[in-house]
Amino acid sequence: FNIATQAGVVMVGSAGNEGDTYYVNGSPNVADGTIAVASTTNDTTYGGVRLLSGEAGVYPSYPTIIPASQSVNGASGYFGPSWVRRVGDAGTGGTGGCSPSDYDSVPRDGMPFVVIFDWDDGTCGSNQRMTTAVDTLGVYGDGSGGQLHGLIAVTPVDDFPFILLSCGYDDGGGAAKAPVPCVSILREDGLNILANPLPYDVDMDSALTSTLGFSEGDQISSFSSRGPRMGAETGLQILKPDIAAPGDFIYSTAAGTGTDGTYLGGTSMASPHIAGSAALMRELHPTWTVAQIKALLMNTATNDVWTEPDQSGLNYGVSRVGGGRVDLANAVSTEVIAYGTSAPERVSVSFGLIEAVTAETRSQTITVQNLGTTPRTYDITFDQRNDTPMAQFSVSPSSVSVPAGGSVTVNVTLSLDPTAAQPHTPDPTSSLTQTSPLVLGGIPRHFVAEEGGYVVLTPTDSSSVLRVAVHAVPRPASDMAADSATVAVGPDLVGLTTINLTGTEVFTGGNLPYDTWSIVTAFEKVYESPNDGFSPAGFDRGDLQYIGLSSDLNFWLDLTGGDLDAALANTTVYMALSVYGDWSTANAYETLFDIYFDTDGDLAEDWNLFNWDLGTAAAAFGIGADPTDIFIGFIQDLNTGSAAFVVPNEFFADEIDLYLLNNNVMVFPIPAGLLGLNSTNSTLSFYVDVLGELNFTDSTRLSGDYINYDVAAAPLSFSDDSGLQGGPYPGLTWYVDLDGLFIPVDYDLSAVTTLPEIMLVHHHNTSGNRVEILTLEASNEADLEAGISVS
């Protein structure tokens, strides 16, 4: 896409329909020069359902028309009058119209019925619900004695105002036009009818129209993908989407119907608005460059996007809507544009991920360019949208005068204080939890704190206000390390030592997870791979670096009185994997760790473990869901198909933030008992493949077969077995990574032939400094080496 823009083509594309998940803005529209479009709602005229009668007092009078959204494949025309019956109530064992048994509640008396169901009561799609209804009840009036006159779906809790339905009828040849109408209605209206459907009879008529009793315009579409996004080749984080346009319930042509239309939604319905806008601007300014046309549209998109109807509530931040909702009236009334000086093709100013160890400031400039023949003067302010206590934008000067045909610059300064309390601040327009069909209830999500807003140029005359979106992902970072690259052991083969920690830590307060503590975890290094020269720099996140292992076996041995079988049944092995470059999201589409285990010694794969998210996992099981910020390790028995989830880094997102986003190290908990380890087979045998951008990039198999790690004979333990810090402890061997503290290391070198190395993971250190490798050094080298050689 960048090549096309360089050739003079204005490239416009959809931001994507994956919803409010970080770093999910769609490719290829993450290219710097393209215009990635988010979707908003727009006030519109909808279809309707006429309630001929109903429960007294629910509506002011009858008949009344309630708003409805027509489905793509539902029949058009007049169908009525009809009685109403609820089907598929999950409270009584129903499936929301997905199963024939759901229709047992409809009287078989030959009368026409419209069936209503709560979409949330089922998991199947609208085509299956239509097909099941037609096949079970038959169609009223077709001579077969059928009774079905239409379907009404009550919009789910998480959708507003309507759900987009297909409602095709499938007679075995694929979904096609249905013989009866199908609509979705507002949840408020739906709940009124679901509570007592018996008094209601209705007309369904595609000629009916209605409007909502409030303004729904300028709200974000629930499906619109969130930014920012990391460039695949560069590894730089840039602000996307660029701009927003109406894309929710847009009336368009219905393919294959001749003259019919239908309501469609998606960022693919929003991007044509911007493509058309760009064409008009190019017609108005035929000599302007692609970047100038893009800047004009983004600068003048000064309509805010809101969380509530009637343009109320909170404003969405720049990583949801870019410059704002497009405004052509503004665009045609100015010939002045503004854009980031260092990357004019982006227009917006991206500071990217900033890991601040100490207080600092960073600056960029915005170029204000007057392409007209009249001088302009602007007052300069900053309008905050995304905010974290550790960062603040400021602008200077407070006003500029731009001569005709000339340009000036505006300074944008980002001030950072990594000691500020609660720097890990969530976006108030986003939920702290997300859902997945695979689990019940909301699950805490991972998120990044953002600093963002608009540099606002307010003219002193009647020309258009201009805005430039500015964005950063700041977070406090540590600069911690062991005080020595060597760790003293000996003279005995069995003993205790410590790793002393030194450097600049992070400790912003006690309100986790919004405060940040620097954390270190410790492992025995079992594998090291060089940085492959063939990998482009941006794909280093798919280039394996180190593997480390540890376990909490000694805690369980202590608890079970030395019963190795009982201890292994409860033991968790922890595998730390690092790559040479950082991912932005722990979703598998940036970096995928694909781990295979041989549990019976036949060199064939028996178990598979890989990183995933609960949304993508649900979609893989055929249950439609968007990617989420709920990350999991999915572990599956390749022989039986049974599976389980583990939590990467072991902590849930609402407990403590180990920077799972924007990192290069991930720790997988592996239940030893699940893999069948016991006293006669306590060895973890595995190999690891790594994929960057879902392309195979590295594998431990390039240097051998399986890696073997005997959990019961591990020479190093980091669980504080000797009790220096109150241990031994179960779980991940983590310690607060503060200057002056230490990590206890219990060792048993009686069965080793070479001294092992230690892998420390400083989770909150800056990029490139998170993994530290330490070597063991014998305090009495001759005695220790003699002991090792004898063993």
Query: For the segment 279-316, what is each residue's pLDDT rounded down to a tens digit?
Result: 999 999 999 999 999 999 999 999 999 999 999 999 99
DSSP characters over 343-379? -TTT-SEEEEEEEESS-EEEEEEEEEEE-SSS-EEEE
Residues ≥6 apart with Cβ < 8 Å to 159 = 222
Please tell me whether the peptide bond between 389 and the residue prior to it is cis, using omega within 30 degrees of 0. Answer: no
Q: For residue 271, what is the enclosing H or E element?
A: helix 267-284
Q: For residue 482, what is the enclosing H or E element?
A: strand 479-482
> Which of the 8 DSSP states describes residue 399?
E
Query: How much is the pLDDT for 789?
Result: 47
CB 736 within 8 A of CB 518: yes
Query: How much is the pLDDT for 790?
Result: 38
Residues paired with residue 667 on neighbouring β-strands, in sequence order: 576
Query: How much is the pLDDT for 258?
Result: 78
CB 306 within 8 A of CB 219: yes
Helix pair angle (290-299, 267-284), 10° resolution: 110
> Which of the 8 DSSP states describes residue 304?
-
Query: Averaged in consecutive runs of 10 residues, what is the pLDDT profile of the chain (791 residues)?
Result: 87 95 88 95 91 95 94 92 94 94 91 94 93 95 91 86 90 89 95 95 94 91 93 83 93 78 86 97 97 98 96 97 97 97 97 98 98 97 97 98 98 99 97 87 95 98 96 98 96 96 98 98 97 72 96 97 98 98 92 96 95 90 85 96 95 96 98 97 96 85 89 97 94 96 97 95 98 91 54 35
Q: For residue 643, what is the enclosing H or E element?
A: strand 643-646
Q: Which two tokens stand for residue 65?
A: 């028309």
> Which of 647, 627, 624, 533 has the alpha carbon at shortest distance from 584?
627
CB 627 within 8 A of CB 613: yes
Please tell me whether the peptide bond between 756 and the residue prior to it is cis, using omega within 30 degrees of 0. Answer: no
Please tell me whether the peptide bond between 228 and the residue prior to it is cis, using omega within 30 degrees of 0. Answer: yes
Q: Which two tokens stand for residue 435?
A: 């859902």
Distances from the Cα of 89 to the Cαs of 98, 135, 200, 437, 440, in angstroms?
Answer: 11, 19, 18, 18, 18
Q: Which two tokens stand for residue 7?
A: 């050739």
CA dihedral 417, 586, 644, 606 (to 10 degrees): -130
Q: Where are the domains of the chain?
A: 2-43+217-476, 47-205, 479-790
Same topology for domains 2-43+217-476 and 47-205, yes or no?
A: no
> Which of 414, 29, 426 has the alpha carbon at shortest distance from 243?
29
Separate counts of helices (H) and strands (E) for the chain: 11, 48
Residues ≥6 apart with Cβ < 8 Å to 328 = 277, 280
Query: How much is the pLDDT for 785?
Result: 59
Residues ≥6 apart with Cβ < 8 Å to 583 = 230, 541, 590, 591, 662, 663, 664
Give the three-state DSSP class for 783.
helix
DSSP characters over 134-185? HHHH-BTTSSS---EEEEEEEPPTT--S-------EESSS-EE--SS-EEEE
> Which of 772, 734, 711 has the alpha carbon at shortest distance from 551?
711
Residues ≥6 apart with Cβ < 8 Å to 641 = none
Distances from the Cα of 411 to the Cαs of 302, 349, 451, 615, in angstroms?
Answer: 21, 11, 17, 41
> Which of 150, 130, 153 has the alpha carbon at shortest distance from 141?
150
Select 2-43+217-476's CATH number: 4.10.1240.10, 2.60.40.10, 2.40.70.10, 3.30.1330.10.
2.60.40.10
Query: How much is the pLDDT for 378?
Result: 98
47-205: in CATH 2.60.40.1120: no
Provide, rounded to the nearest whole percent, the portion of the chain with pLDDT above 70: 97
User: What is the phi/psi pair of residue 570, to 5°?
Assistant: -110, -5
How far apart are the C-alpha atoms of 489 and 501, rounded to whole Å?
Answer: 17
